[in-house]
Chains A and B, each alone.
Chain A
Amino acid sequence: MNNTIIGHNLLIELKREAQKKRLAGGNIYADKIVSDIFTNAEDIVHKNVVRKDKQINWSQKADNILTSKITGYPIMLLTLGAILWITISGANVPSAILADVLFRFQDVLTGIFMYLGAPDWLHGVLVLGAYRSLAWVVSVMLPPMAIFFPLFTLLEDLGYLPRVSFNLDHIFKKAKACGKQSLTMCMGFGCNAAGVISCRIIDSPRERLIAILTNNFVPCNGRFPTLIAIGMIFGAGNLALHLQSAAVAGIITGMILIGIAVTFIVSWTLSRTLLKGEASSMVLELPPYRRPKILAVLYRSFIDRTIFVLRRAVLVALPAGAITWLVSNVYVGEISILAHTANFLDPVALAIGLDGFILLAFILGLPANEIVFPILIMSYLSSGYMIELDSLTDLQILLVNNGWTWLTALCTMLFCLLHWPCATTLLTALKETGSKKWSFLTFLIPTGVAFLVCFIVAQSARLLGLAP
């Protein structure tokens, strides 16, 4: 009996001593032990194994460049920038053609309604509301998606994404989060709800929660086209056409980098406050590079992603367009219900560089982020400035007429990037965490960050006299 008690005291003392050593050494032991074991393994292999394997050598060389500390990051940035540039410069023309065709068909529809003598409100709800927002969703969002998704899927198929994960691992480690979080972020590019589900691959509950809480900071399918659309309409100003695409690609790349930076900052903060703990190590197997199967890539990106997202957008856009038209055409006193609400939101919205309509569009967009921009256009269109819109240039005029400056565009993009996740993502977070508290934080943290960042940007720009 005595023996066990002595043993027990000794154990406690030992634990304390080890902890002291760990803290004094800056907590590097766990990492060092893992990398030392690998060094031993490499050493043994080096002595006893001879490889004449050409394919391995080739992929090793590629890995040395793609995952090098010096060239890894620039290549990642360039790849992202290049994909966005192709997307934006490629989407311009089809977007314009689609808008042209779809709005010409709107005139046909209007003609039919007039011929049949349909009442004005019916024409308003169905054509000016439902059809027009559908037309906007398709013409603004379809072309970028149809170009971006195949390119992204191509990278996935090549085996580049695990390398990205590898590159980002040590930054995540600094934030005391799991390196696999970058894989869940890649999923988030597709859909944040899917991103939240994919957090299951992270084994430590602490790190999994961090990944769930921050997944929203990568722009999903629904928000990405909004960013691109605003970037295309507004970002490049009066630059020459070929420079425009590059400038917009630069802006969007910047947005994604901001999202990633915020992910790190929030993860870092969470690891030191609500979710204290150490990062765990993991083995990431880099799969061999493969020649992508072009047909499979096209199928996956068109059917699984483009059509899926578009379908969801259309399904939500139709009723949302109709409802938006209604609330903006039902008047209480002098102005419409929509304008009343927007006016109510105006003081808060202006403080963070938006206006009441923009904030309202984000709130109405809670069911699906895809419809934020169409709702916004609808509310501007039905609130006085009834100009005929049939191209992206007209869209810019509409926004400028409604008081948009470069600061409005920037703050709208930032808010779009950082604000609360869509309802589906929130429900998924509830299902995955099983906790109301954590799901509420999934809503609260991005919302807080979005308001804070936009407030700081808007106020400093105004203080410096850069924008009205």
Chain B
Amino acid sequence: MGDSSVSHRVLREHFGINTKENQKVIALAGNPNVGKSTVFNALTGLRQHTGNWPGKTVDNAQGIFTYKNNSFLIVDLPGTYSILARTVEEEIARDFICFGQPDVTIVVLDATSLERNLNLALQVMEITSRVVICLNLIDEAKKKNISIDYAGLEQELGVPVVPTAAREGIGLEDLKEEVYQVGLGFKKVQPRKTHYSPEIEEALAALIPKIQDLGWGEFLNPRWIALRFLDGDEKLIDNIVRHLSLKAGQSLNSEVEIAL
């Protein structure tokens, strides 16, 4: 456990994120215009600072909040509709969730247009299991006569779903509680697997065992890697190799340091 947390820290530093001892890292994802910034501000208050993602001209905002004597560093990812890495923003969001290994990823969804928003949540859940859904704008949804079965949604998705109206400050304490539960490993989550068409599932079944042989398992979800092989995202595959060697090299160094 200690070893892996060192290597995680190395990977995060690569993204310009420096955590203190025992501080948990939270990624905040969501479509544009779903109130993601409102959630971010509500959670962190004034304890935040902004900069750029290393080597990119995209804003990177980070903030800190404390809950039950635990410190959380929250990283605001660029607002995107998906994380298939078609744009710089999508690539940043995807790479951070994938290589930054956040302890929890909050996906903020707009309750008034769930179809489009769930698309992102499902993609995130393919990379990491530690997901908390923040179902925002429930006040707007009520105004529009949209009724959502929160418990049903939570059961279906297999991860905590917290209804919020961040602008009114509704639901934020519950959100912190769920983040705490999932982030410290008190609550085990089992995200729903996205079902693909038979031809894709067939191709996946053939690829996954071989990917498992690569030994990336504890670090990355083989099913997700197989999907990226299928949609031809070679850049990601090269990226994985780069990050893995970074991780291996660095943790080797730190072992040497400890030995000395």
A contact residues vs B (CB 8 Å cutoff): 3, 7, 10-11, 13-15, 17-19, 21-22, 25, 27, 29-30, 32-34, 36-38, 40-42, 44-45, 47-56, 203-204, 278, 280-283, 285
> Are B119 and A37 touching (Cβ within 8 A)?
yes
B55 at the interface (CB under 8 A from A): no
7 closest A-B pairs by beta carbon, nearest first, are A283-B81, A41-B118, A18-B229, A30-B231, A52-B145, A203-B87, A29-B230
Q: How many A-B contacts if CB must be within 8 Å?
A: 126
> Are A278 and B115 touching (Cβ within 8 A)?
no
A203 to B81, CA, bound (A): 14
Q: Which residues of A contact B119 (CB under 8 A)?
A: 37-38, 41, 283
Q: Which residues of A contact B195 (CB under 8 A)?
A: 36, 40
Q: Which residues of A contact B157 (CB under 8 A)?
A: 44
B147 at the interface (CB under 8 A from A): yes
> Are A22 and B232 touching (Cβ within 8 A)?
yes
Beyond A15-B237, A48-B156, list 10 extra A-B contacts (CB 8 Å): A10-B210, A11-B214, A18-B207, A21-B207, A36-B195, A37-B123, A41-B116, A49-B146, A49-B148, A285-B116
B88 at the interface (CB under 8 A from A): yes
A38 to B81, CA, bound (A): 12
> Are B230 and A18 touching (Cβ within 8 A)?
yes
Closest CB of chain A to B66's CB: distance in Å? 33
> Are B214 and A47 touching (Cβ within 8 A)?
no
Contacts A15-B229, A48-B149: A40 and B122 contacting too (C-beta < 8 A)? yes
Q: Which residues of A contact B153 (CB under 8 A)?
A: 44, 48
> Are A17 and B207 touching (Cβ within 8 A)?
yes
Q: Which residues of B contact A280 (CB under 8 A)?
A: 86
Chain A binding surface SS class: helix
> Are A33 and B207 touching (Cβ within 8 A)?
no
A18 to B197, CA, bound (A): 17
Q: Which residues of A contact B128 (CB under 8 A)?
A: none
20 contacts between A and B (CB under 8 A): A13-B210, A14-B210, A22-B232, A30-B231, A33-B230, A36-B197, A37-B122, A37-B194, A40-B195, A41-B119, A44-B118, A44-B153, A45-B115, A45-B118, A48-B149, A50-B146, A50-B148, A54-B145, A278-B232, A281-B86
Q: Which residues of B contact A18 (CB under 8 A)?
A: 207, 229-230, 232
Q: Could you say which interface size class chain B belongs to? A: 35 or more
B42 at the interface (CB under 8 A from A): no
> Are B230 and A21 touching (Cβ within 8 A)?
yes
> Are B146 and A52 touching (Cβ within 8 A)?
yes
- Per a CB cutoff under 8 Å, which of A14, A25, A283 touches B211? A14
Q: Which residues of A contact B214 (CB under 8 A)?
A: 7, 10-11, 14
Closest to A36 in B: B196
> Are A36 and B118 touching (Cβ within 8 A)?
no
- Per a CB cutoff under 8 Å, which of A11, A21, A44, A203 touches B156? A44
Contacts A44-B118, A51-B145: A14 and B156 contacting too (C-beta < 8 A)? no
Q: Which residues of A contact B215 (CB under 8 A)?
A: 3, 7
Query: Mask for B113-130, Cβ within 8 A of A = 1, else 0?
Result: 011101100110000000
Closest CB of chain B to A407's CB: distance in Å? 46
Residue of B122, B153, B230 most packed against chain A (CB within 10 A): B230
Contacts A40-B194, A41-B115, A44-B157: A33 and B232 contacting too (C-beta < 8 A)? no
Closest CB of chain B to A33's CB: distance in Å? 5
B213 at the interface (CB under 8 A from A): yes
Q: Which residues of B contact A19 (CB under 8 A)?
A: 232
- Per a CB cutoff under 8 Å, which of A34, A55, A56 touches B84? A34
Q: Which residues of A contact B115 (CB under 8 A)?
A: 38, 41-42, 45
B241 at the interface (CB under 8 A from A): yes
> Are B207 and A36 touching (Cβ within 8 A)?
no
Within 8 A of A (CB), among B123-180: 123, 144-149, 152-153, 156-157
